[in-house]
Amino acid sequence: EIVLTQSPATLSLSPGERATLSCRASQSVSSYLAWYQQKPGQAPRLLIYDASNRATGIPARFSGSGSGTDFTLTISSLEPEDFAIYYCQQRRNWPLTFGGGTKVEIK
């Protein structure tokens, strides 16, 4: 099973600041990595798929990069609605796995 490790666990930032979230895989997942956003009491929302492709309707301030084992989700300038938990997910191998999440909180 591919283990995805997300860091940091919590990121404390102010609106307008840049957020950089990391996801590291225990073995190569090529570019088969997605990012999701989840707010309290809501279902997850797809942000990025295949490492760098923004999903439909996702603002340009969200971007993804990386390949192999190291991936980054960047939010260029945090908006109030961006404070949430972010998860990465790999689809390279069965079983599909998610990272443990990074909480982006207001500083």
Nearer to another protein, 57 or 80 (CB): 57
**Beta strand pairing call for 102-106 and 10-13:** parallel
Handedness of CA 88, 40, 12, 9 (dihedral sign): negative
Residues of this chain that bind another protein (CB under 8 A): 1, 34, 36, 38, 43-46, 49-50, 55-56, 87, 89, 91, 94-101
- Least distance in angstroms from the C-beta of 57 to another protein: 10
- Least distance in angstroms from the C-beta of 96 to another protein: 4
Nearer to another protein, 33 or 78 (CB): 33
- Least distance in angstroms from the C-beta of 44 to another protein: 6
Percentages helix, strand, coil for the chain (3-state, rounded to 5) are: 5, 50, 50
